[in-house]
Structure 1
C-alpha cells in the first residue's frame, strides 16, 4: 500500500508493515480533512445555480463534482436532490421550460439526473432559452 503513496509519506510510514495500522494512522492524520471540507461543500451545493453556468454540460459537471466530494465526506446527495436543485435554479426567462421538466419528473418520465441532463441537452440544441 505504501508504494502508492507520495514519496514523502513513504518515508514517514516506511516502518509501518501492518496494513491495518497504516490505514488507522492515515485516517487519524487525514480524517479531519473531510470534516473541514463539508461546510464549504454545503455552501457550494446551496449556491449551485443552473443560470450561473454557461452550459448544460457545465451544470452537470459541477453538480456531479459537488456530489462526489460530499459522498466522500459521508453526506449523500440523491438524484432527486440533483433534479430539484437544477430545476429550482432555472433562469426567470426559462420558467416555462423548468415547469415542463417538473411535469416530466412528477409523472415519473424523468427519474434520474442523467435523464434530465440528456433532455436539457437536446432541448438546448433545438431551442434557445
Structure 2
C-alpha cells in the first residue's frame, strides 16, 4: 500500500487515504478510470488514421506525435508494431517524394528506429546541401580572389629596387 500510495496523484492520495486493502484500492481506481478507454481509443484511432508524414516539418516532430499516439493505443489494448509504424511513414510521404519512398522501401528496414535514423541523417544532409547551394547558387561565378595574381595584361613592375632575393644586383632596371 505504501508503494501504491507513493505513486498516486496528491488529490487521489487524500481521497483514498482511508482505504487499507490494495485490492479494494485497485477496484476503486479501475472503476473510476476504466471509462477512459472508451474515450481515448476512438480519438487515438482517429489520430492514427489521419497521421501523415508529409504534414510535419521535421522528422523529430513526426516521431514525437507517433509515439504519443502509439502509447495511447497500447494503453487501450491495441498493438502497433514497428512494421505498422514504418508502413505509416512510407505510405504518407508527399507525392513529390515517391522515388524516395520507393528507395526507402527497397532498403528493407526491419526496425522503426532504423528508418527514423536514416530519415534524420538524410534531412541533415539535405540541409547541408541547401546551405552550400545558398552560399553560391548553381551558375553563379566564383568571386575573384583578393590576393590573386592578374591573369592577363602586362605584368606589374616592382618598385622595390634592390630589395629582392638577389643580393647586390638591381634586376628591375631596364
TM-score under structure 2 normalisation? 0.68
Distance 1:67 1:92 in 2: 25
For residues 12-67 of structure 1, what are the alpha-carbon distances to aligned partners after superposition, in whole Å with 9 as ceiling and x for unaligned?
21221111210111001101112210000000000100010110111111111111
Equivalent of 1:37 in 37, 40, 43: 40
Residue 127 of structure 1 aligns to a residue whose secondary structure is helix
Give the number of aligned pairs. Answer: 124
Equivalent of 1:65 in 52, 68, 76: 68
RMSD: 1.3
Q: 1:94-109 counterparts in 2 under 5 A?
A: 94-105=97-108
Distance 1:4 1:116 in 2: 36
Residue 124 of structure 1 aligns to a residue whose secondary structure is helix
For residue 119 of structure 1, what is the aligned residue in structure 2?
118
Structure 1 residue ranges, 4+ long, deviating more than 4 angstroms after superposition: none
Distance 1:70 1:31 in 2: 14
Bigger share in helix: 1
Distance 1:60 1:7 in 2: 32
Aligned: 1:83 with 2:90: no
For residue 148 of structure 2, what is the aligned residue in structure 1?
none
Distance 2:6 2:114 in 1: 40
Structure 1: segments with no counterpart, 5+ residues: none
For residue 74 of structure 1, what is the aligned residue in structure 2?
77
Q: Highest CA radius of gyration, 1 or 2?
A: 2
For residue 9 of structure 1, what is the aligned residue in structure 2?
12
Structure 2: segments with no counterpart, 5+ residues: 128-174
